Amino acid sequence: MNENMITNPILPGFNPDPSICRVGEDYYIATSTFEWYPGVQIHHSRDLANWTLVSRPLARADLLDMRGNPDSCGIWAPCLTYADGLFWLVYTDVKRLSGSFKDAPNYVTTAPSITGPWSERVYLNSSGFDPSLFHAPDGRKYLVNMLWDHRQTGHGDQFAGIVLQEYSVAEKKLTGPVHNIFKGTDRKLTEAPHLYFRDGWYYLMTAEGGTGYDHAVTLARSRDLLGPYEVHPQKHVLTTAFAPDAPLQRCGHADIVDTPAGETYMVHLCSRPITVTGSAGQSDIRRDLPGSNVLQRRSPLGRETAIQKVEWRDDGWLYLAEGGQHPTSLHTPRPAGIVAAAAEETAVRTSFAPGPLPSAFQWLRSPEPDRLFSLDASPGQLRIYGRQSPGNMFEQALLARRQTAHRYRAATRMHYEPRDFQSFAGLICWYNQCQYHFLSVTREDDGSRALRIMSTLGDFPFGKAVFSGEPQKLPDGPVELRAEVDEAALQFSWRVSDGAWQTIGPVLDATILSDEAGVGEGNNFTGAFVGMAAYDISGQGHAADFDWFDYETLG
């Protein structure tokens, strides 16, 4: 690999809606986490190429409680900025997704360090999502967010423009009139605003076209903060809507940052879809893609974060440095004069010890992790307490990590004696309540311990569980469970006492675990996870213990 190039995506796997800021020589990117807890991922880099997770700031109930939030709600599009010696984090906790309404309260919290402590949140408004804080040259602060209009029924018309209101630091609230400064272009679905000031111009960057394959980054500018804003000569600074064979797809929702040397870079979301031939699962997503023979595309890795070098030209507008409106490769030039950091080696095996949960893992919705798991109850093991059913929106004991490559192998060793058929635990490949595959240990009616494969295949909104193959009887003792994914194919296997691996069940459709399956493109917002889970739907909290968890990419 050319050492002068950055390889995309820089944040592989589910890491959408990037917001970037620089403090001295340090760069930080905040990304959406939706229903996964703790909320917001913040990565750090000094070279824009190699990134390390350093914080998940929304880790207290007074900052975030998502119990009851539907799938793909929760934390949408955080904005991270630095001013006045503080990090400012603005975020939405979406409480409703479907129907005519979006319940989307917006908050701000601050911290002197990226690792905290983060202040109590301040409520801002609920008029729309994707809030962003603009620190104006005169020291005043303004909140911008998209405006939601529930009265409209046309495609994209509920996205009613970008509104701006001043934020009073002293009063800790928004103050003064609300201004609709930009109604968007004919691409519609105008969201994700970020404001910048440069050479006497206010620049407004937005995302348009929805977060599917028609996504785009739109740029506009004005001499006056309140507008009117004129649109970029080519309208969209970045889009792959017209480039179905580009290596990165669904490019949009962007933010920019300047290096100390004055170079400019844009971070944006993207996806790397798998091409699917024929009908995959229960959701047929055939599209007419001019110039391409692709019939269906699915993105198990979700929306990832990529970076592009951009440049300000003599006309005062921003363009991709390579020209055009879409990236033509997975690479972009490194910043001049910045020495590339060595990439961190990631261990295949995660062991469990008393203390904090290993950073790769998250859980769903609840700010009370002690009710879900413990690293102290059985030293050297992760104990997961069986809670409510798969897909429960209040208390589900599932701990998982992101799928970051199209080919991977994951495994764990579990100690578990199920009480009856209502208690089950094991290895799960998860997207949401209507999209998962689960290899679990349970108890059959004859008293035997057995393995079962349970799936939901995208039948939104019902999430009906279906079972693959016959139950596999298990001997006593610990059992190792494994999932191997090769793009669209998922195969489970198992073994005991370090014996030979034995496959179980049929080859399953891994593309069920994608944005485009289930309710379909532009309506699912997360990505595939793999991890450990325990359920006890009798309500008695029967627990499972896990010795370790392996995750290995396979090229």
Residues designated catalytic: 395
Structure tokens at 216: 């785009």
Contacts of 543 (CB under 8 A, 6+ apart): 377, 383, 384, 385, 386, 534
Q: 371: helix, coil or strand?
A: helix
Cβ-in-10-Å burial (0-12, 13-18, 19+) of 471 comes to middle
Who contacts 456 (Cβ-Cβ below 8 Å, separation ≥6)? Answer: 390, 391, 433, 434, 435, 436, 463, 464, 465, 466
DSSP SS3 for 437? strand
Do the beta carbons of residue 71 and residue 94 sit within 8 Å? no
Q: Which residues pair with 219 in a beta bridge?
A: 205
- The H or E element containing residue 546 is strand 543-553
Within 13 Å and on the Cβ side, how many CA atoms surround 343?
10
H/E stretch holding 364 reads strand 363-364
Contacts of 117 (CB under 8 A, 6+ apart): 111
Nearest to 207 by CA among 269, 280, 118: 269
The string of DSSP letters for 491-534 reads EEEEESTT---EEEEEEEEGGGSSSSTTTTTTT-----EEEEEE
Total length of the chain: 555
**DSSP letter, residue 273:** P
Q: Are 239 and 209 in contact (CB under 8 A)?
A: yes
Q: Which of 542, 521, 42, 6 lies closest to 289 in space, CA to CA?
A: 521
Strand partners, 300: none
